[in-house]
Structure 1
């Protein structure tokens, strides 16, 4: 196999280099041999989460005292980048939604009791997390959610629905956004709640059959008279929108990292193919047009990687990066489409056959311009800050 690697930037310390080596080894030795079966089944075995958790990869950003690693944003970038090299986007999404987009809410905003109750099991992969924000008429427009939570003598009663929820079928810990102040307009009056699997008011309406990311489970959920105790409230009442927006910044950074990992792996697979494929009396690699195309795609990948790493460094320095991370989400995820389509083109008919890595990667890549904030929404976020 032809290896395609960039030089490691100096901003990566020895811990991050070790994380990369360990995740890559696990991906190559454990995930890749099994992932096709997971893709066919439409789910990832719980044992895979436990095994990944035992190695410390599911809690790298979370506090050490609750089973985490206490690392910064760069660890999320390395995790997303290396997981995506497995060529199964659903695997990368299921793990990162758990570690960075759902359980992170508890790590950042939970009480000591909530952290103690949920984080150790989540970091160990014994409990799987899902974040439930999107609704049928409120995707990138988070302020438009209609799910309601009403205070009762026992705590809160939640009614509504959520859709496109990764880990929604097999999850154990659900972070649910609901409107707690019906009089509040737009982004105000939204709160977050922790809901556990088995609550009779939380029902999986259906498991989606998706175009890509087929190894991860994605669900539509009904919240029907969902009763939760008072201490299920996560953070302050009415601050949910701001919590979601804060976590979105990390989600968008991870989407950029996943894109970079897919681009690099796509180029690696394509280099291997064009050096073997013969046409017109020579290998495709010997054709200048092919070499130039791959050089261009590699250059774009390097530019995207530099953006992602720079943004992670700014997060770890405590800077406000809403504009920059929106640029990353828009530019890098759109660049992913160009790079992988270019790779598929160079594979010719082989790239169009279901089951080949490059065909699967092209399908899996499409969601990254939609999920976590559509490209058009991201560009508006940039424009508002110009």
Structure 2
């Protein structure tokens, strides 16, 4: 494809997504935050506009674009301050759908992917447990085979899309005689399965519109057809998909910071103090310059990583660098932006306050930033 034409298509898609966010999200987002959930009907609207799982191949119902189109949706939602929506979409379009695309058999792909593209089926990935966060080795959820059946038991927590999802990709230990890394499998669990129960929609500091739940599995009966990928090979599969997940988080982080910078810039140009606009103060101008520089630096790294991912050459270490660096930057820039608002920045009526509370979790999920540094440093020491 002609690179210039390719870029034009991305730009046109961005214009469409930006207009959609302003028309279909902005008027309703405050209510979604109060409801602690995004209506399922909205997912169908996104599906109609080709904004879900855009890079899924046409044979499975997608548009067959590349990774950049998925990221446009995340970028525009994040830049507008709809971080909860960006998180929900990342889990659905860039994690769950690609687990199925890359690990599923043909029957699984045809069963789930077209409905994920249309928004009829919302996906959730179920890894974290009350006693095991970033440490998947401590996982307790297990599936035991009896004849032709598997019985799944355990619980998960902090699960994004937990209330809305109808498909749950559940990590469970299937061989208790070995370490979790060698005895972990992934199961496709439909939300109407007997023995499956959604717990409470958790009360969070931020990202209120993202339904985040506890989940419980009590003798959920599954079959071999419900295993995603190789039996006992789930841990390796997870590791293979993590670079994409972490890059998506980095992309959202940079756009979120960029949105906060825009709000702060507009505010200080209009706010009068000390006989003129705040932009007359050198300290304010320098703060804006620092924030803008950080955004551009991390945007450049993300663009490099996007290219590598599309070439299937993005390493775990580089993706970890992008994730931890971008989310650290995101929190610092948004804190600086809020500071420029003074006391008004602390008021919930000003959107910058939501940017602030929504950003904090980015350094935790997808693997804490401390885990990212551990991954990077191990590679450096080993080389």
- Which of 128, 139, 161 pairs up with 1:134? 128
In structure 1, stretches of 5+ residues that fail to align are: 1-8
- Which of 14, 23, 26 pairs up with 1:32? 26
Equivalence for 2:260: 266
1:14-57 per-residue CA deviation (whole Å, 9 max, x = no partner) reads 33222222211111221111111111111101111000011111
1:209-235 per-residue CA deviation (whole Å, 9 max, x = no partner) reads 110110010101111111112200111
The whole-number CA distance in structure 1 between the counterparts of 2:232 and 2:365 is: 24
Equivalence for 1:100: 94
Equivalence for 1:87: 81
1:230 aligns with 2:228: no
1:220 aligns with 2:207: no
Equivalent residues, number: 378
1:335 aligns with 2:334: no
Equivalence for 2:187: 193
1:317 aligns with 2:342: no
Q: What is the 5 A alignment of 1:70-219?
A: 70-219=64-213
- Helix, strand or coil at the partner of 2:181: coil
In structure 2, stretches of 5+ residues that fail to align are: none
- Which of 345, 350, 353 pairs up with 2:347? 353
The whole-number CA distance in structure 2 between the counterparts of 1:355 and 1:156 is: 50
TM-score, length-normalised on structure 2? Answer: 0.96
Check the 8 A contact 2:53/2:70 in 1, yes or no. no
Question: Post-superposition, which runs of at least 4 consecutive aligned residues in structure 1 deviate over 6 A?
Answer: 9-12
- How far is 1:143 from its partner? 2.5
- Which of 52, 57, 64 pairs up with 2:46? 52
Check the 8 A contact 1:168/1:204 in 2, yes or no. yes
- Helix, strand or coil at the partner of 1:227: strand
Equivalence for 1:377: 371
1:66 aligns with 2:64: no
Check the 8 A contact 1:148/1:179 in 2, yes or no. yes
1:13 aligns with 2:2: no
The whole-number CA distance in structure 2 between the counterparts of 1:10 and 1:330 is: 32
1:287-334 per-residue CA deviation (whole Å, 9 max, x = no partner) reads 111011101100000011111111111111121421111001111100
TM-score, length-normalised on structure 1? Answer: 0.95
The whole-number CA distance in structure 2 between the counterparts of 1:263 and 1:11 is: 29
Check the 8 A contact 2:242/2:316 in 1, yes or no. no
The whole-number CA distance in structure 1 between the counterparts of 2:301 and 2:69 is: 16
- More RCO (CA 8 Å, sep 6+): 1
Check the 8 A contact 1:88/1:360 in 2, yes or no. no
- Which region of structure 1 is more displaced relative to structure 2, 112-121 or 71-80? 71-80
Equivalence for 2:239: 245
Q: What is the 5 A alignment of 1:269-308?
A: 269-308=263-302
The whole-number CA distance in structure 2 between the counterparts of 1:127 and 1:150 is: 27
